[in-house]
Amino acid sequence: MNYVFTIDEKNLLKLKEYYQPIMVPSDNSTHKYLFKTDQLTITVYNSLQVMFQGEDALEEYNSWAEILGLEKYESAEKFNGYDNQYLPLRVIGSDEVGTGDFFGPVVVCAAYVTPNDYLFLDELDIKDSKKINDNQIRIIGEKLIKNIPHQVLVTSNEKYNELIDKGFNLNKIKAYLHNHAIKKMISRYPDYQKIIQDKFCSEENYFEYLKSEETVKNIDFLTQAESIHKAVAVAAIIARYRFLQEFDLLEKEYGITLPKGAGPGVDAVARIIEMKHGEQIFKKIAKLNFKNYQKIKKN
């Protein structure tokens, strides 16, 4: 279970000082700080959002919630309940995957879920996709794509790098993809009642990225949206399913097992690939604006 709040600079200094002994480096450009033990991971994003994960996450979150005057949670079940104001509504939810992976595409999915789908989704035990391993994603994803209306958009590494060269950043790419997927779903299911998107940037920035586009405006941007409505959870799982399919194709085409993420293991495999295939291959299989690529170029 993930627990998230937004912190100000003054309290961030206190948090950093408190967790200094467990601070670790991060290759993710969206991270400001990363703290880690076997039972706890605390990620501080550039947006000043703080996410607690792991066995000790609830206890640590509640400690800071008390300091900051935020709501405390008695149990993970209470935090993760889907019983909220969105429950009786027909919802289009959207989410993305692949943004933290050096290898592989960026995939966005928008899914349309109504209360009529809940029994089916409960049977699949739909929940936060980050808590489902890849083997389960493949099984559940196969069932979801056959039964839940959705729209998937895949941005290949080559297209991603082309957009970056044109001046796009990652959030602008995501904004374009989400907007397009949501518009497709609205055209197919105009009887929807709410749109929920997993929040990855401020609303102001989101609409600034799309100022030259026909843009869907009536969106609820929510942090940890997978825990708030099943439409977003479904979208995340389908997006991950398609990401894995695309990842499989890359591995098959180039005959190598590619690691996910952007850590040291990725750097090691990337160097092997560079020796076998040359630097130009990364344009087709990786995100060139990641620090992993800069490390390869320096060697």
Considering the domain architecture, whether residues 191 and 96 belong to the same structural domain is answered as yes
Q: What pLDDT, on the 0 to 100 scale, is given for residue 5?
A: 85
Name the least confident of 79-88, 103-112, 160-169, 250-259. Answer: 79-88
* DSSP code of residue 44: E
85 belongs to a structural domain: no
Cα gap 270→281, rounded to integer Å = 10
Q: Determine if the pTM surpasses 0.85.
A: no
**Residues with Cβ within 8 Å of residue 50, at least 6 apart in sequence:** 4, 5, 6, 7, 12, 15, 42, 43, 44, 64
Query: 48, 80, 112 — which closes off a domain?
Result: 80
In a domain, 141, yes or no: yes
pLDDT at res. 74? 67
Query: Reduced to 3 states, what is the DSSP secondary structure of residue 190?
Result: coil
Give per-residue pLDDT as tens, 60-87.
Answer: 999 999 999 887 876 554 444 576 788 8
Domain boundary residue, one of 35, 53, 80: 80
Range of the domain at 54: 3-80
pLDDT above 90: percentage of residues in the chain: 63
Pair (99, 245) in one structural domain: yes
Give me the pLDDT at residue 72, please. Answer: 80
Distance CA 144, CA 146 (A): 5
Query: For the chain, how many structural domains are there in total?
Result: 3
Same domain, 195 and 293: no
Are β-strands 31-36 and 150-155 bridged in parallel, bridged antiparallel, or unpaired? unpaired
Distance from C-alpha of 116 to C-alpha of 193, rounded to nearest angstrom: 14
